[in-house]
Structure 1
Amino acid sequence: MPKQSTKRTREVEPITADGEMPQKRFYRSRAHCNPLSFNENFEYPARPDLFDWTEDHYPNHPLLLQSKSSTNDQSDVIPTFHNASRVKPNVLDVGCGFGGLTISLSPLLPNHTILGLEIRTKVTEYVRLRILAHRKEHPDQYQNCSVMRTNAMKYLVHYFPKNSLDKIFFCFPDPHFKKKNHPRRIISERLLSEYCYLLKPGGKLYCITDVKDLHDWHVEKCDGHPLLVRCSEEEMEEDPCVEVMRKETEEGKKVEREGRFGHEKYYMVYRRLEEEERLLGGVSADNFFEIGQFGVEVFDNQKKG
C-alpha cells in the first residue's frame, strides 16, 4: 500500500470581491519586514503634485461632493483638476497593519484625509477591501480614508509636500531589538527631520508601543529634536486621537488580550514647533518667564508681592 503523504494541502485563498468584508485569516503575513533591504520595486511619483489621489484612493471624497453640490450638478462626480488637486492626505498612519486606526480615524476626523501606509502586500490588500466594505455598508462615510502600499522610510517626500501633514501616527512599530538593527527603527534622528519637514507647524507626531525600551528610544529621539516639543499630559488627555490610538489598533487589542511584553501601552505625543517658536528657540509668551534667555535669568516683576 503506497505511503500517504503527510504534507498538508495548501488552502486556496478565496477571492474577495470589492465591497465584501475580507477574512483576516486569508491575509495574514509576517509581523514585520526589513524596510532597508526590501528590494521589491515600488512605483512613486517624481514629486507630490504629479500624483492624483482621487483616482484610486478617494474617488468620492467629501471635497469632491461639495464641489458637485455647489454647482447643483446632479450627474456623476467627475473630478476636475482644480477640485481633485485639493484632495490630499493630511493624516498618516505609518505601518497601519490591518487598518484599525486608519478606519477609526475616518469618522473621528471627518474634515481630514487619512491614509494608512503599509509595506506588506497581503495586509495592504486586506485594508483596501476592508475600507471598501465599510464604504458599501455606510455610503456617506469612510470616503476620506484609504491605504497605500509603500516603504515609508524611503518614499514619503515623493508623495507629500513640505508642511502638508496635520498628524503622523506610529503605532506598535517593529522594535528591532538588536543594536545592529536600530537603524531600521521608524523613529530616528534622520527620519524625524523628514517627518518635521512634512508636518505643518503645530502638527502632531504620535508614538505608541508595548515595549518599554522602544518607548524610551522614542522619547530620547523626539526630546532631542529641535523642531519637536512634548505635549503635556493634559493635552494628551484632551486629544481624542490618543484614546483611539490606544484602543482601536489590532496590536493594541492584542496587547490587552495577550500581553507578550506586558499589558502596558507606552505612548507620547509631540508637536512640531510653530515658526515663531522655532525662531525664538522655543520661547513663547506663555513660557517667556520660565526660560532664561542667553544665560540671563528673567524675572516677572508683576508676580512679586
Structure 2
Amino acid sequence: MTKRKRQDAAVPDAAAQQQPPTNSNLPQKRFYRQRAHANPFSDHNLEYPHSPGHCDWTVHYPKLAPSGKVPEFADVGCGFGGLLIALAPLYPDTLMLGLEIRVQVSQYVQDRIEALRVTAAEQNADDGAHYQNVSIVRANAMKFLPNYFGKHSLSALFFLFPDPHFKARKHKARIISPTLLAEYAYVLRPGGIVYTITDVKDLHEWMKSHLESFPMFEPVTEDDLRAEGKGPIVDAVYNSTEEGKKVERNKGDKWLACFRRIEVPRV
C-alpha cells in the first residue's frame, strides 16, 4: 500500500473518541459524528493500493476472497452502509465494497459489518446473512477508483443520493461527469448497471443527461431491470439508505436513473 499524507477534512466529534460497541452489539451513530459532506478536492490522509492487483481482499473478505473472488458491486459514497447491509444476504456469493471518504462514517460501517458478522456467527446463521461478502474502504473515488477495481470487474455501480453541490462553481465536484464516466465505463463490465438516485431533480437531470451523452452507456428502465430479476436491487436503491428513508419520511420525491454499460464493437 502507498500512503499519501494529506490534511484530513474530517472533524470528529468528541464523543467519537469513546470506545464503540464490540462483539454482537451494533455501533451507535452518535459515537461517529461527522460533517455531512467532504470536499473531494481537499487533501486527505489516505492509503490506497498501487493497482487492483495489490489489493489484499482477504483482509476484507477472509472467508470468500481466498477462492479468488473480487468485488462485483461498488457503492460509491456508501454513507452509513445501508445498501451494503440490505444486499449482503440477498447476494451472499457476490462481494460488495463501499467507498466512503469521511473518517468517522467509514469507521462506523466497518464496525457495523464486524458486529453483524459476530452476531451471525453466534446465531449460526445459515440463511446467507453472514455479511462475509461486504466491506468498506476509506477512499476518494473521484481519484482512486481504478486503484481498486480492474477493467470490467464490476457488474454494478451505485451512486445513491450523492452530494448535489448546488452552486454552479461546485458542479465540477459532482460524482457524475464526462471524465469520471470514462473511469466508470472502464471498471464496469459490458451489461453492468449504473444505478443513480437522488431527491434533487436538478441533480437527477444532470446525471441523466451526462450518462445519456456518454457513448458507452444506454438507459435501462426500472421495469426492464425488474424483469431481469434485479427488483431486489432496485428496491434497496430506493429504500435502504439513510437518505432514502429520510426522503420517505418527509414525503419527498426520489428520482431514479439507471444505465447499462454497452459493448462497443472493435473497429
Deviation of residue 268 (structure 1)? 1.1
In the superposition, the TM-score normalised over structure 1's length comes to: 0.76
Contact 1:54 1:87 survives alignment (8 Å): no
Question: What corresponds to 1:50 in structure 2?
Answer: 54
Cα distance, 1:279 vs structure 2? 1.9
> Which residue, out of 251, 258, 262, partners 1:273?
262
Any stretches of 5+ residues in structure 2 without a counterpart?
A: 1-13
Unaligned runs of 5+ in 1: 1-9, 65-82, 282-305
Please state if 1:137 is matched with 2:119: yes
Structure showing greater radius of gyration is 1
TM-score for both structures, normalised by structure 2? 0.86
Kept in 2, the 8 Å contact 1:222–1:270? The answer is yes
The share of aligned pairs that are identical, in percent, is 48
Question: Equivalent residue for 1:294?
Answer: none
Quick one: which amino acid aligns to residue 124 of structure 1? S
Give the C-alpha shift of residue 36 in structure 1. 1.3
Which residue number in structure 1 is paired with residue 169 of structure 2? 180
Using CA pairs under 8 Å that are at least 6 residues apart, name the structure with larger relative contact order, 1 or 2. Answer: 2
The correspondence for 1:24, drawn from 29, 34, 43, is: 29
Alignment partner, residue 60 of structure 1: 63
1:257 is the counterpart of 2:249: yes
1:207 to 196, 201, 206: 196
Aligned partners of 2:243, 2:16: CA distance in 1, in Å? 27
1:1-305 to 2 correspondences below 5 Å? 11=15, 13-19=17-23, 20-37=25-42, 39-55=43-59, 57-61=60-64, 64=66, 83=67, 86-139=68-121, 140=125, 141-238=130-227, 239=230, 240-258=232-250, 263-274=252-263, 278-279=264-265
CA-based RMSD of the aligned residues comes to: 1.7
- CA–CA separation in structure 2 for the residues paired with 1:165 and 1:11: 37
Q: 1:248 to 1:266 in 2, by over 3 A?
A: same
Q: Post-superposition shift, 1:11?
A: 4.8
Greater strand content:
2
**C-alpha distance in 1 between matches for 2:137 and 2:22:** 16
CA distance in 2, matches of 1:105, 1:269: 17
Alpha-carbon shift at residue 111 of structure 1 (Å): 2.1
Q: Secondary structure at the match of 1:271?
A: strand
> Residue by residue, what CA displacement relative to the aligned partner does 1:162-190 show, whole Å, maximum 9, x if unpaired?
11001000000000001111010000011
Secondary structure of 1:111's aligned partner: coil
Q: Secondary structure at the match of 2:233?
A: helix
Query: Which residue does the alignment assign to 1:298?
Result: none
Q: Relative to structure 1, is the Cα distance of residues 11 and 151 closer, same or farther in structure 2, using a 3 angstrom cutoff?
A: closer
Amino acid at match of 1:253: K
